[in-house]
Structure formats: structure tokens, C-alpha cells
Amino acid sequence: MSEVAIETTKKVIRPLAADSLMFEDARIVRYVAFVPRDTDPQMLTESRFWLSVAQRLTPLAHVLVVWDDRSQMAELLVTESSQSFVSMLLLNYRKLPGIISDGSEALVNFEIYYSSIDGYCARRLSDSVLIVKGASSREKAIEELKSHPAFKAD
Amino acid sequence: MNDIFLKMQKLAREVQAVRMPLDRLITLAWRGEEPDKAAIAHVLRTEAAQRELALDWETNLYRHLTGQYCLICTALPHNPKDAQQLATRRLINSREACSFCGLVEGSYAPIELTVATNPVGIPIPGERVHPRCALHWQRLKLIANAAPTKSSLL
């Protein structure tokens, strides 16, 4: 009998207070911020970066940060805020497929040009050897160049 | 198939942007030859062909409201200096012409052109583009913005 009594006391679960459930939008504000394309993601958690908007932020606010060339995205949570100070928590950061390809340093030795006879060609500048010929677009030429054995050798 | 795309790409590179009946476009692209115009027109009218031209051949081809066809070259310069020159040129009738390709739409402008936006979707007043030029216009501006700004003399 005593065993049963212990079991019932263990199972007591206090129900959630009725006023603790509410619409998410009633408590949490979500912002989106567009930042210049040269912004360093490390800088986002610095209080100084948010100086001019600190007084509009409240604790628990979420800020979705989008780089204005759409190349990166970050999600931040405001943990405390005052008139001029915020402390931010970086929840999520990811690079997005940018709408322009970032100029890769590996292509420095190559010249990609269009000729009306052969289409897009890629030439190695150091010894002017034509490596890719007849590609249909610049992206295709770069793709073909990157899969070329001569490219990997460099 | 590739032969058709190659010819259209070559014509687009030469003219940049042009609007004329499909029949005349084919005549121009195959000048000096006697192509099977009906068969080529049949291919170029299909959505699949137009999509492949846009994705792989840096060429936009689509039917204009008038029933003529627009052929637009979307190849972009890859050095910021040239891009800046293209992105900052101002057309006299900029409300009636596409900022990217410069094709003057005249009274068709309200239907054929949309307000340009930056990559995060904020409209740029005073810049109108064809919906199919919009992405390339954004790319061009991003490439142009990558230019190192001239340091002030002060």
C-alpha cells in the first residue's frame, strides 16, 4: 500500500498557470536588420554596433540580420538592453548562396573571355595556354576550369 | 540545338538589346546562310529553349507584348570599373527604358517594366527594369559596389 502512495505523490505535475501561455507576438518582437555587405559577423554581438537602435530593442527580441547583398544571414537574441547598451546572443549564422559569385583568388592566373567563334574560353596567363574552349557562359567556363586537371596542379 | 543557342548568343553579344520580329532575329543571326526558319522559330518559341538561353547562355529571349521578340545580352563585366560605368549611366528617358539593357519601352513601360529592387527587396526609386533583367541589374550593381572607393582629398 505504501508503495502505491509513493507512486502517486511522484506523479503530481503542477499544471501550467493559465496566464503563462500567450501569443508569441504579444511578448517577443522580431526585427530584421539589413547590414552592409562588408560587415563582420563577429561585430554583431558587440554592443557598439547596435548603439543607435539600442533603445528600441527589448530583452528576448529576435533580430534577423541579412547582409544587403544577400550573401549571409544571422539570427540574434537580445538578452538585455538599455538606452545605449545591448547584449546579444548569436543563435544562428549561415552563408547563403550569393547572387554574385565571390571572386575566387584561385582564378587570378586565368583569363576568361568571350570570342565569337569559340564562345567562352579560359586561358592560363602564365604561359597563355588555352585550357577551356567553347563554354556557353562565364559560370560554365569557371566550372569547367575548376574540374580541369591543370587547374588542380596549380 | 546548341548551334541555335550559339548563334543567338553571338547575335545578342553584338546588339546588346533589341526588339524585333522573331523572323528578323533569325535572319540576322544566320545572315549569309539559308536556315530552316520555321524549325528554328519553333525551337526558340518554347519555354525550355528560352530558359536554357537565360540560364546557360547569358541571353534573354522572350515574347514582348507586341508579339515581337526581345533579345537581351546579360553578360556582365567582372571588373568593378566597367561595371560602375554601366551601372551609373543615366538614360534620358529613364522612366520608359530598362536601366539594365537600355531598351526603350515607351508606352509599354507600365506593363513591361518593374521598379528595380536591391537584393533584400527594397525598391530603388527611379530605376526601372524588365523583370528578366532585374537579377542581372542587381548583380551588376553589386559588382560595381565592390570597387574600392576613391579616397577623399581632404
Dist CA A77 CA A91 (whole Å) = 7
- Give the residue, A97 or B41, on which the prediction is more confident: B41
Strand partners, A121: A113
Q: What is the pLDDT of residues A35-67, one digit of tens each?
A: 988 889 999 999 999 999 999 999 999 999 999
pTM here is: 0.79
Long-range Cβ pairs for the range B102-108 (8 Å, 24+): B102/B16, B102/B17, B103/B17, B103/B18, B103/B19, B103/B70, B103/B72, B103/B130, B108/B64, B108/B65, B108/B66
pLDDT at A105 over 70: no
Would you call B118 and A68 a contact, using CB atoms and an 8 Å cutoff? Answer: yes
Domains of chain B: residue spans and CATH: 2-73 (1.10.10), 80-145 (no CATH)
Query: What pLDDT is attached to residue B82?
Result: 85
Question: How many angstroms separate the CA of residue A107 from the nearest CA in chain B?
Answer: 12
The mean pLDDT of A21-46, rounded to a whole number, is 91
ipTM of predicted assembly, 2 dp: 0.72
Residues near A70 by beta carbon (within 8 Å), at least 6 away in sequence: A96, A98, A99, B119, B120
pLDDT at B54 over 80: yes
- Give the residue, B52 or A105, on which the prediction is more confident: B52
The mean pLDDT of B124-146, rounded to a whole number, is 88
Confidence class for position A91, pLDDT limits 50, 70, 90 = very high
Residue to substitute from A102, A111, A136, A145, interface B, most B β-carbons within 10 A: A136
Task: Compute φ and ψ for B54, nearest 5 degrees.
Answer: -70, -40
Strands A30-35 and A62-67: parallel
A74-83, A117-126, B23-32: which range is least confident on average?
A117-126
Question: How many angstroms separate the CA of residue A6 from the nearest CA in chain B?
Answer: 60
Instruction: List chain A domain ranges.
Output: 15-95, 105-153
pLDDT at A28 over 80: yes
A34 to chain B: closest CA residue: B120
Question: How many angstroms separate the CA of residue B127 from the nearest CA in chain A?
Answer: 18
Which of A103, A136, A138 shows the shortest C-beta gap to B5? A136
Query: What pLDDT is attached to residue B81?
Result: 84
Would you call A37 and B5 a contact, using CB atoms and an 8 Å cutoff? Answer: no
- Chain centroid, CA A19 distance in Å: 36
Dihedral of the alpha carbons of A141, A142, A144, A146, in degrees to the nearest 10:
160
Q: What fold, for A15-95? A: Ribosomal Protein L25; Chain P (2.40.240)
DSSP 8-state assignment for residue A128: T
The mean pLDDT of A66-92, rounded to a whole number, is 92
pLDDT at A128 over 60: yes
CA-based nearest residue to A58, from A27, A93, A104: A27
The mean pLDDT of B17-36, rounded to a whole number, is 88
- Give the residue, A25 or B92, on which the prediction is more confident: A25
Confidence class for position B105, pLDDT limits 50, 70, 90 = confident
Sign of the Cα torsion A54, A56, A60, A65 reads negative
Query: What pLDDT is attached to residue B109?
Result: 87
pLDDT at B153 over 60: no
Residue to substitute from A34, A100, A107, A113, interface B, most B β-carbons within 10 A: A100
Which of A34, A99, A116 shows the shortest C-beta gap to B139? A99
A65 to chain B: closest CA residue: B120
pLDDT at B1 over 80: no
The mean pLDDT of A93-109, rounded to a whole number, is 73
DSSP H helical ranges for chain B: 2-15, 22-29, 37-45, 47-56, 80-88, 109-112, 134-145
Would you call A68 and B139 a contact, using CB atoms and an 8 Å cutoff? Answer: no
The mean pLDDT of B62-83, rounded to a whole number, is 88
Query: What pLDDT is attached to residue A129?
Result: 83
Question: Mean pLDDT of all residues in chain B?
Answer: 86
Dist CA A145 CA B116 (whole Å) = 33
